[in-house]
Amino acid sequence: MHNPFKIGAPQSNVRGLHIMIVGGGKVGGTLVEQLCKEGHDITVIDTDPDIIASLTNTFDIMGMTGNGASYSVQIEAGIADTDLFIAVTGSDELNLLCCTVAKQVADCAAIARVRTPDYSKESAYLREKLGLAMIINPELETAREAGRILLMPTALEVGSFAHGQAEMVKFKIPEGNKLDGMTLIDVSQHIESNVLVCIVERDGGVNIPSGKFELKSGDVISFVSTPKIARSFLTKIGFNVRQVKNAMIVGGGRAAYYLGNQLLRSGIDVKIIEQDKKRCEELSILLPKAIIINGDGSDEDLLREEGIDSVEAFIPLTGIDEENIILTLFARQFSNAKVITKINRINFHSVIGKLDLGSILFPKYITSEAIIAYVRGMSNTIGRNNLRTLYYLVDRKAEALEFEIEEESAITSKPLMELSLKSSLLIAGIIRKGKIIIPSGSDMICVGDIVIIVTAHMGFNDITDILA
C-alpha cells in the first residue's frame, strides 16, 4: 500500500569540494556535519582551540586555530586549493572581511553569514560589490518561515518553492476529521484533485503513500499545491485558514525585529516583550506600529496581564531554548494561540519531538539548507539543471528539492510512466509557466520547468539523480 522511506547514500556523481569554514559554532558545526556526510573535504578555522579540538575529534576534517580573516592563516589552511569559502562567525564585519580576503587570494566562491538589519537591507549591493555567491541571514530566514506559518496557522510547516508559486504544507489530522479513513484516491476524487500528498508520518514511521493509502486521525501529512489551492483544500476538510490578527513575541532580538516587521506589513498587530530597556527603546523606533513592553517575558503574571489568554499567535524568540520551550508549553495550557518555537540546539531532538510545541523552527537547519543546496549545485558534474531549493524533512530523514530544468536530459520529453525512478521518491509537482501540474504518468518534464522532488535518498544534486 505504501513505500516506507529507506535512507539512501549520497549520489556517486557528487564531486567532492574543498571547503573552508571560518567559525565552528552552532551553524559551523551543523555545516561540518552535513558536508562531511556528503563527501567533501572540510577545513575549519576558529580562534577557540577547544572548538577546533571538538570538531576534529568528531569529524574527519582539518582544523586550525587562528583568525580566519588573516591572509597568512588562510594561506596556511590551504585557501589556494579551496573551492568554497564560508564565513559564519558571530561577527558580520568579520565574516565580510574573511570573504573579501579569500576572494583576493583564491579563485573560490564565498558565502557570508550577515545578520544585522542594516547590512541585510544592502545584501544585494554587498553581494555584487564583494563578489559573494550568497549572503545568508538565519534570523531573517527564520522570521520568513514563521511568517508563512502565521499566514496559514493550521499548518505546522510551510515550505515555499518557485518564489512562492508552490508550497509544501504540513499538518496533523485531528480526531473526527473527514480525512480519517479516506484513501488518497478518495481525497483526490471527492475533495481536491490538485493537491499531492507526499509524506505521511504515523507512529514514528514515514511513508511515501500510494493512492490506496488510508489516512487516519493523528497522521501528520505533507502535501504540495499552490497557496490558493492549499487554503481551499484545508477549508474543505474543516480547518480555519485565515491569518492570525495579532501576535505576541517574547524576546526582542534580531529575529523578533524581522518577524515583527513582516507581520506588521501583513496587517497583523504585534506586541513584543523584551527585558532590556535599551533594546525596547530601539525597537520602539524601528517598529513604531508595534507595542513594545519592557518586562520579563517568562513572568507568568506579566504574560497574563498582556493578554496571553486571548492572543492568536505566541512566538518565544529568546536566546535560550529551554525558556522558549517552557513558554510554549505555558501558552499551550492557558491559551488557544498558534505557537511557534525557535530552538537553536538540537542535542535532544528526539525528546523535543515528543513535546506538544506546535511549529518548531531550527535556524541552524534553515541556514544549512540554503548553503547545502548551493554546494550541491557546485558539485554537479552532470549538467546545468539547477538545484534551487532544499528542505530537510522528518528529522532530516528525507528531502524536498526544487530543480530548474535548463537542458534536455534523460528525464525530459518522456512520459513519467516511461522513466525508471528510484524507490522512496516522488515527483511532487511540475511548475510550468507559472502554473503547477500535479503530475500523472502521462505528464512530461520539459526544459524550462521547475520540478519538485521528495525523496529519502540523500545527496541529489541533479534532476537525473531520480533515475534508478
Question: What is the pLDDT confidence band of residue 21, given thresholds at 50, 70 and 90?
Answer: very high
| Average confidence (pLDDT) over 367-378 | 87
For the ranges 20-24, 122-126, 190-194, the one whose mean pLDDT is highest: 20-24
Q: 2-136: which CATH architecture?
A: 3-Layer(aba) Sandwich (3.40)
| Average confidence (pLDDT) over 52-77 | 96
Q: Where are the beta strands (DSSP E) in 215-346?
A: 220-225, 246-250, 269-274, 291-294, 313-316, 338-342
Which pLDDT score, from 0 to 100, does residue 383 have? 54
CATH number of the structural domain 381-466: 3.30.70.1450
Cα of 429 vs its chain's centroid, Å: 19
Provide the angle, in degrees to the nearest 10, between the axes of the packed helices 363-379 and 26-37.
Answer: 40
Write out pLDDT tens, residues 410-423.
999 999 999 999 98
Minimum mean pLDDT range among 69-83, 133-147, 340-354, 388-402: 340-354
Which pLDDT score, from 0 to 100, does residue 236 have? 94
Q: Where are the domains of the chain?
A: 2-136, 154-236, 246-361, 381-466
Q: Is the pLDDT reported for residue 9 higher than 60?
A: no
Which pLDDT score, from 0 to 100, does residue 416 have? 95
Question: What is the pLDDT confidence band of residue 346, given thresholds at 50, 70 and 90?
Answer: low
**Pair type for strands 157-161 and 386-393:** unpaired
Asked whether the beta carbons of 144 and 266 are under 8 A apart, the reply is no
Cell 552552532 belongs to 26
| Average confidence (pLDDT) over 193-216 | 89
Write out pLDDT tens, residues 67-87.
999 999 999 999 999 999 999
d(CA 41, CA 453): 27
Q: 154-236: which CATH architecture?
A: 2-Layer Sandwich (3.30)
**Pair type for strands 359-361 and 398-404:** unpaired
When the candidates are 3.20.10.10, 2.40.50.140, 3.90.1150.140, 3.40.50.720, the CATH number that belongs to 246-361 is 3.40.50.720
Q: Is the pLDDT reported for residue 463 higher than 50?
A: yes
Q: Is the pLDDT reported for residue 8 higher than 50?
A: no
Residue 189's Cβ-side half-sphere holds a number of Cα atoms within 13 Å equal to 7
Cell 549520497 belongs to 10
d(CA 331, CA 401): 34
Q: Are 2-136 and 246-361 in the same CATH fold?
A: yes
Question: What is the pLDDT confidence band of residue 26, given thresholds at 50, 70 and 90?
Answer: confident
Buried b (16+ CB within 10 A) or exposed e, 283-303: beeebeebebbbbebbeeeeb
Q: Is the pLDDT reported for residue 165 higher than 70?
A: yes
Chain-wide mean pLDDT for the chain?
A: 90
Angle at 154 between CA 149 and CA 160, to 5 degrees: 35
| Three-state DSSP state, 295 | coil
Q: Is the pLDDT reported for residue 352 higher than 80?
A: no
Residue 258 C-alpha cell reads as 524581522
Q: What is the DSSP letter of 370?
A: H
Q: Where are the beta strands (DSSP E) in 80-204?
A: 84-87, 109-113, 134-136, 157-161, 166-172, 196-202
Which pLDDT score, from 0 to 100, does residue 12 have? 43
Write out pLDDT tens, residues 221-279.
999 999 999 999 999 999 988 899 999 999 999 999 999 999 999 999 999 999 999 99
Q: Is the pLDDT reported for residue 61 higher than 60?
A: yes
Which pLDDT score, from 0 to 100, does residue 313 have? 96
